[in-house]
Structures are given as C-alpha cells and as structure tokens.
Amino acid sequence: MGKNKIKKMKKCAALIILDGFGLGENDAKKNAIFAARTPFLDFLFEKFPHSKLAAGGAAVGVLPSQCGSSDIGHETIGTGRVARKPIKIISDAIDDGSFFKNQKFFDAVNFAKKNNGNFHLFGIGADSFVHSHTKIIFAFLEFLKKNFPPEKVFLHFAADGRDNPPDSGKKFFEQILNFCAEKKIGKLASIFGRFFLDRGQNWDRTEKIFKLLFDKNQKFEKNWREFFDKNYAKKIFDEFLPPTAFGDEKIFPRISRGDAIFDFCFRADRQRQITAAITEKNFTEFSRAKFSEIFAEKNDEKNLKFKNKNAENSENNFLKNEEILRKIFKNEKNFDEKNLKKIADFCGKNGKIGAEILAEKFEIKKNLAEKIWEKIKNNFGKNGGKNLENGENFGEKKIYFLGAIQYSPDLKNAEFAFSPEKSKTCLAEILEKNGFRQLHISGREKIIFVTFNFNRSANLNLQNEIDECAPQTREVENFAENPEMSTPNVAKKILEKLRGENLAKKIAENFKNEKKIDAKKLEKILENEKIDEKKIKKIAEICAENNFDKKICEKKIAEILKIEKKNAAEILKKIKNNFGEKNFENEKNYPEIFVINFENCDQVGHTGDFAAAKKAVESVDAALKKIVPAFLENDFEILVTADHGNADEMCDDRGRPHTAHTKNPVPAIFISANLRGRKLRDGALSDVAPTFLEILNLKIPREMTGKSLFLEK
C-alpha cells in the first residue's frame, strides 16, 4: 500500500468469558466439561499459552471459603483490582458491631413504628453466599428483637435450589425458623422458588411474587414442612416452588400501607424487578390497581382520590379508607368500631374537623375523640381527612423499602443500607479514552454482567461501547431443555460483525436509487457472497494505493465486481462521497474490541442435569471453533477466561446433583497468530484487565492492582 495513505491501525483484541467454566477434576462422572467432546478447546489448550486463575475467596474480595459468582467475577475482571464485595462488607459489619448501629435500619423501624405498621424480611432464605446468607438474616432478627415488636415481624423467603442443592430448602428453613422460635421473633408468611426472582424481563414471574406479598385474597397454607414434602414428592424442587402464602391472614398479614421491608439480598440482579414493582411510582410492567391504597397509580379510577369534596364515596373507597383507619385506631380499646365506616366517610369529605366535632358527630367521649384526632393529624397531616382525600396518607413514602445494597441507581425510591467499595476506573473506560470501539455481547441471562458489572458496576453510557443481547435459540423455562441457549446466536452476531454484512447492506442501500447502476445485480452479488471481505479489502487497497485515481480505480473495481466500467465509476463516486478519500478498510465496520460472554455452562450447570451440561459445553466449543479463526483472520489477539466454575462439578461424592458454583480455578488462554514466545503465569481474575491492556500496548493504570499474566522473557 502507498505510504502516507493509510493511518496506523489500532490493535484489535477479543476477551471471551466462558461463564461457569472451571478447571475441575478429570472425572467423567462429575465434571461435565471433562466429559464433553471439545476438540477445538482441546486444540487451544494444546497449542496456545494457558494458565490457571483464582476466582473465589480473597482473590475476588469475598469470604475465604466462598465461591465466586457472575457479578463478582465480571467486576473483578473488568476493574483489574480486588475490592471488598457486599457480603464481605456486611459480614465485617456484623463482626465489628457496626451492623447493629446502621442508621438505615433505624429509619425503617421508626417508619413502621410511626405508622403502626409491620416489618417484613424478604429474600433468599439460604446460605448461598452468592445472593444471601443466614448470618445476615440472624443478625437482622437480633436487631429487630431489640428495636421492634417481635410479634409484628414477618418472613417472605425464596428457596434457593441453584447455589445450593435443589432439595436443601427444607433444611435452611428449619434452621431459620428454629432461630425465630428460640428468639421469639418472626412468623413465616411466604415461600416461593428463586425462579420467580426474575432478572430477564419475564414480568409475569415478578407479578406472581408481587401478588403473593400484597394480595389478601389468596389461599393460605398452614404447614410449611408439608408444603416442601408435597412438592418434593412431585419432583418440584426449591428453585421452582410455587409462590405460596402461609398462616391465617388475621395473624400473618400481607404487606400493607405503613409497613417496612428489608430485602437482605446483597446481589442486585434478581432484586431489581421486584424492587421496581414495589417502589416505582410510574410502574407499568403490570397493573397494581388492585392495591391502590398503596400504589395510587396515574389514571387509576380505583385509587383513593375523590371526584369532589362533597361527592358520595363508593362502597369500595369506604372499605379502603376504613382499612387505613382501622390500622390507626386498632389499639384503642374504648373505640366503638361500628363508627369506623362513618369516620372514614367524614374524614374523606371534610378537611377542617377537630376533636369536638368528632365527639359530637359520632357520640364518643371527648378524651377518645382527642386521641383519634391527634392520630388523624399525625398520619394524615394538619388538614386531617383532606390528605386522605388526596391519597397522601403517609406523605411521600407509603411503605419503606430498604435493600441490603443499592439494586440500581434508577430505583430512586428504594433505600439501601450498605455501599460497595467503588473502583475509580475500569477496562472499558480506558479503552474509551484511547478511542477503541467496543462490542459487549451475551445472552439475556448474562448481558447485565458483561455490561453493568464489567463496567465497575456502574451505568457508564460510554459513547463507543455497544451492548448487544443475543436471543435464545428456543425459549424454555428450564435451560436443560435447550442447553445451547444463546450461544449459537452470540457466535452468529460476532461473525456478522467481522464479515461486514452490515456494511454490505449500507453500500447496497446507497446504490438502490441510482438509475445507472444495476442495483439488483450488485445487491445480489453482495448478498450471495455476504460481502466477500476479500473483495471489499481489495477495493480499499486499490483506492488507498492509488490515491483514488479515477482511471485506475474504476478499472480495478469493474474487474473485481465484474461490472461495466461506467457502473464502477458510480461506485467509486459513492465510495468517495460516503467513506471519504481514504482507505475505508481502516474504517472497519466492526469494533476493535469484543467483550463476549457465553452464558450456558453456568446456566445449565445450575440445573444439575449432567447430560444437558455436557451439551452446553459442546455448544461453546462449536461456537469458539467458528469465531476464533474469524478473529485471527482479522488480526485480532484473543484472551479466553471464565468468571467462576459450575459445570466442572455437577454432582457430589454421593452422586447427588450439585447445582452451585465451584471453588475451582478458571482458565486463561492467550491466542494469537504471532505468539512471540509469550507464556502465561498462574494468577487471579484481577490480572485479566492488565493483561488485556498489555496485549493492546496500553499503559496499566495505578488503580489496577492486578498484574499482567505474561511472563517476562
């Protein structure tokens, strides 16, 4: 190519994360990765430098005995440093006593006390380490024991079945409820499977939990042990247990106005949707009109607003107001409850009333009327029933929602008790500052990790980063039924980017309205040959080498595309107009950086289905066989790793299904057409970003505590 015609090209690199791909024992009965047929992965391990990386415990900022997880793994990979993760922060707070002095806990308790409400604990009732831990549940119950009426504490717990054995839920519930009995605090109100804590925009699942928490008109079971046994007998295990209410509604209430909720889960992904449904004012994913005493939705005719001050209220609104007043007055032994409905009506229509009018109107003693009026003022504001009329009974907050951590910056109405240790920079930001275009891609179940968590758990909105979610090849509820999941589609989208098929469409579109060009013929050539990159590159080289010399370029384009010279002239003109007089090979249609997550080794590993997990691994092998050569053909260098293990241990020593993450290390493989004698050392996930920066010849920032995996020559 001609000198001074071509700008120096940026290096291109791909980071491939095999989610749930650990390096376990060479046991074909336990390790689905070892048992699977993976000829291409075997080739990569044989021909290219590789090493082992620690992916759990202190290496990723969690408890020493803890496995890694997707959020923790991706954040550590993306930031290149080890920061204390929420479970470690909260555990340390319990140990040093600061947990029991947390002001947010007192704010939640005081809200419920002020409004004569109940307190609800919500989350996954298990020692998963990944989403929750009984240490936190027990500590918070101890806090409530000292600071809140114990008979007004209620438990709404999910059974796990993924990060723990699929039938371990009964054991965990036994531990938790025995603790409650011993401490004389808390009653079980709800059980549901973790499956319904959806993170994939399946709002029908979220709605089932929402109704479980708020709907008083549902069937109530009496015996939680029988519930587990009955479902286990039907082969319905912890993850998929149907949302079920327990006890008698008079004793085990649903969540109501004036109550407080503490979600003790310390991982965000499965808490975002249910938190949004509970806290967002303009929530639209499903209707909350039935619970309008809490969620006074816009344009909702069933809410607490009156048509006008003197209009007669409907029976429905009488009952809703009565329910609110009953909560306020239920501790007043001398109050004649037959007057509740009348007071509800009266307060709704009259803003300026007082104790004397109440005593006269409802024939009650003056001292009781004064107590009632004081409560009306405290709960409904200085204008009494006028605020009831406006649906503002408890000010801005109608319920107090507190999460262990912030589940999303977008959830403005949800409070949170603990803040993470934030990283100041990450790999994606460094690439952005250096002008690299990035594509972050995965399937629906893992896209949040390769975008949000990878980018230091922040919504960075980088200008040159594109996030793409590939669909499942077939929609199923149990991933064992479709082990390949999104993997073939992730590979397909990557190949489309590398082969420039989008550029083909763009060029073809430019020619559609040109009368002098046989647009159909040209479009047919482009489609049939899928914009043969060799032809595109050849045209780019000719234009650059010959400085867009009209005579030479027209002739060469005509020869390459087998079209008439006059049509080649029009093509040359279009190229100059649309791509400029420069080598558009260097203006690649694909990004210089790919960050890829193949999700299915983890997701299928969680099912405990060994045969399905093998198929998942084999589908990843097939995808790698397609994309790795394509990357190398386009002068990419590739780093392959994983966030944690899973499919590497599918059963325990007794042959029982193992559905949790593993403590095994994960691989690092460096793939390049020019290895230059490079070798890799063993390390940890925090070393991945520094290694990737060295591949790109970029400086490693001081904030990254990880080190490059390349051994010095």
Q: Using alpha carbons only, what angle is made at residue 255 by residues 382 and 91, rounded to the nearest 5 degrees?
A: 105
Q: Quick one: pLDDT at residue 293?
A: 73
Together in a domain, 242 and 118: yes
Judge whether 2 lies within some domain. no
Task: Find the catalytic residue in 51, 65, 69, 70.
Answer: 70
Together in a domain, 564 and 685: no
In this prediction, residue 346 has a pLDDT band, given cuts at 50, 70 and 90, of low
In this prediction, residue 513 has a pLDDT band, given cuts at 50, 70 and 90, of very low
User: What 3 state SS string does 113-129 have?
Assistant: HHCCCCEEEEEECCCCC
Q: Quick one: pLDDT at residue 200?
A: 86
Q: Quick one: pLDDT at residue 352?
A: 44
Q: Between 388 and 111, whose confidence is greater? A: 111
Going by their DSSP bridges, the two strands 683-684 and 50-54 should be labelled as parallel
Both tokens of 504, joined, read 């083909």
The top-scoring range by mean pLDDT among 116-120, 198-202, 523-527 is 116-120
Q: Quick one: pLDDT at residue 416?
A: 96
Together in a domain, 102 and 187: yes
Instruction: Provide the percentage of residues in the chain whose pLDDT is more than 90.
Output: 62
Together in a domain, 207 and 264: yes
In this prediction, residue 529 has a pLDDT band, given cuts at 50, 70 and 90, of very low
Q: Quick one: pLDDT at residue 43?
A: 97
Together in a domain, 347 and 485: no
Q: Is 97 exposed, middle or buried (0-12, 13-18, 19+ CB in 10 A)?
A: exposed
Q: Quick one: pLDDT at residue 369?
A: 72
Together in a domain, 453 and 369: no
Q: Quick one: pLDDT at residue 556?
A: 82
Together in a domain, 109 and 210: yes
533-558: average pLDDT: 68
Judge whether 712 lies within some domain. no
Handedness of CA 59, 65, 451, 683 (dihedral sign): positive
Together in a domain, 243 and 343: no
DSSP state of 452: I
Both tokens of 253, joined, read 């209430």
Judge whether 5 lies within some domain. no
Rg (CA), the chain: 31
pLDDT digits (tens, 9 = 90+) for 78-123: 999 999 999 999 999 999 999 999 999 999 999 999 999 999 999 9
For residues 123, 415, 293 and 280, what is the CA-based torsion angle, rounded to 10 degrees? -90
Judge whether 445 lies within some domain. yes
Is residue 364 scored above 60 in pLDDT? Answer: yes
210-238: average pLDDT: 94
Residue 631 structural domain: 16-84+424-498+590-695
DSSP state of 57: G
Together in a domain, 141 and 245: yes
Q: Which of 547, 579, 611 is the last residue of a domain?
A: 579
pLDDT digits (tens, 9 = 90+) for 662-711: 999 999 999 999 998 899 999 999 999 999 999 999 999 999 999 999 99
Q: Which of 542, 558, 579 is the last residue of a domain?
A: 579
CA atoms lying within 13 Å on the CB side of residue 408? 16
| 27 strand-pairing partners | none
Q: Quick one: pLDDT at residue 55?
A: 97
pLDDT digits (tens, 9 = 90+) for 270-323: 999 999 999 998 899 999 988 877 875 443 333 333 222 333 333 344 444 555
Counting the structural domains of the chain, the total is 4
Judge whether 529 lies within some domain. yes
Clarify whether 65 is annotated catalytic. no
In this prediction, residue 394 has a pLDDT band, given cuts at 50, 70 and 90, of very low
User: At which residue do the structure tokens 């929609």 appear?
Assistant: 475
Q: Quick one: pLDDT at residue 355?
A: 65
Together in a domain, 543 and 644: no
| 645 strand-pairing partners | 20, 662
pLDDT digits (tens, 9 = 90+) for 178-190: 999 999 999 999 9
Judge whether 150 lies within some domain. yes
Q: What is the CATH number of the domain that holds 198?
A: 3.40.1450.10
Which positions ≥6 away from 28 have C-beta within 8 Å?
34, 35
Judge whether 6 lies within some domain. no
Together in a domain, 203 and 135: yes
| 593 strand-pairing partners | 13, 438
Judge whether 310 lies within some domain. no
Together in a domain, 455 and 556: no
Q: Quick one: pLDDT at residue 614?
A: 98
Burial 146-166 (b: 16+ CB within 10 A, else e): eebebebbbbbbbbbbbbbbb
**What is this structure's pTM?**
0.65
Q: Quick one: pLDDT at residue 521?
A: 44
Q: Is 654 exposed, middle or buried (0-12, 13-18, 19+ CB in 10 A)?
A: exposed
Both tokens of 58, joined, read 């202190």
Q: What is the CATH number of the domain that holds 685?
A: 3.40.720.10
Q: Is 660 exposed, middle or buried (0-12, 13-18, 19+ CB in 10 A)?
A: buried
